[in-house]
Structure 1
């Protein structure tokens, strides 16, 4: 009986020792397994990042090459009429320049009363008025999706553009009457010069609000906020 108990205690002790020595091994094995999974995840993530970086670099390289090819292509330097989303900017500079020149020359001619200056005023006013009329009535861009502030600026631009046409037309009539009916008398030259000065002020303000629309509100560049030509 005594030996039997000793034998039992011995078996129990051996089993306990084996279990104690096996536990660290199992724990160590799990730790290795955990590290293995973590390393695999980290490698996968690193590989994905590397692939994304490579794709981005390739896209940037292609974009840079395309841009360089575009700059080296002479055919892209001079845009055709079809490339413009609207013809307004191609026309509107004529009335801006010509009506300002007409007003300045007309004011000078009050003192000089020269027929040559009369002809300069008449021709500049005629071309400036026609260009203003076309730019306002036929080549005026139709906008879409404007902000409230941009719409206010556009309203002011349109107001002064209309006044440019009105005063340009009155100025042309006054200049023709002064030159051909009253033969360039000083008072008639003065009247025409005053009306043309009003037209010059109107076209300058229209140009100011037009520049504000483009460079501050962002209306127009690359066709932003503009409807296409066929909607006109």
Structure 2
């Protein structure tokens, strides 16, 4: 569907990453500053929701990646996709937990659970990004490449 737009994935993927990492920052602030906790929890939810929708869009644009590839590049691509899906699932689960926790205001321990989930999400985002960078810089996969990385 997006084969005519080889640079779409890099354009779409970076904005949700920033939103999801900012969600971690706002949730940590919500844990630290009790006075502003409810407002920061709402900010965290909005960032998570937008980041999750953006992450879904990023996973949908990844199938068109172009470039000359060997077996090692396919292995890195599979790992990249695997961690991208883990990141998407973690983002979705964290968004749902944050929404439920907003409805049940007296459940304070969920703030710590959400911080743990967001740290886990950040780790999977970094691993995904590392493998994406390997595809671009080590294997030449991307919009300026000549071939196609398709199975």
2:111 aligned with 1:183, yes or no?
A: no
Measured against aligned partners, the alpha-carbon deviations of 1:88-142 in whole angstroms (never above 9, x if no partner) come to: 1111002211111112221232222322211221111001101111111x21133
Counterpart position of 1:109? 30
Give unmatched runs, 5+ long, in structure 1: 1-81
TM superposition shift of 1:190: 1.0
Q: TM-score, with normalisation over the residues of structure 1?
A: 0.57
In the aligned structure 1, how far is the partner of 2:93 from the partner of 2:146?
Answer: 35
2:147 aligned with 1:225, yes or no?
A: yes
Give the conservation status (yes or no) of the 8 Å contact 1:91–1:131. Answer: yes
Identify which of structures 1 and 2 has the higher relative contact order when contacts are C-alpha pairs closer than 8 Å and 6+ apart: 2
TM superposition shift of 1:159: 0.9
Give the conservation status (yes or no) of the 8 Å contact 2:69–2:148. Answer: no
Q: Secondary structure at the match of 1:218?
A: coil
Superposition map of 1:81-92 within 5 A: 84-92=5-13
Give unmatched runs, 5+ long, in structure 2: none
Largest Rg, 1 or 2 = 1
* C-alpha spacing 1:83/1:159, structure 2 compared with 1 (3 Å): closer
Equivalent position to 2:75, from 134, 147, 152: 152
Give the conservation status (yes or no) of the 8 Å contact 2:76–2:131. Answer: yes
Equivalent position to 1:129, from 52, 63, 75: 52
Q: Secondary structure at the match of 2:94?
A: helix
Equivalent position to 1:173, from 81, 96, 101: 96
2:120 aligned with 1:198, yes or no?
A: yes
In the aligned structure 1, how far is the partner of 2:147 from the partner of 2:19?
Answer: 29
Higher helix residue share:
1
CA RMSD of superposed structures (Å): 2.3
Equivalent position to 2:17, from 96, 103, 107: 96
Give aligned pairs, total.
145
In the aligned structure 1, how far is the partner of 2:65 from the partner of 2:4?
Answer: 18
Q: TM-score, with normalisation over the residues of structure 2?
A: 0.84
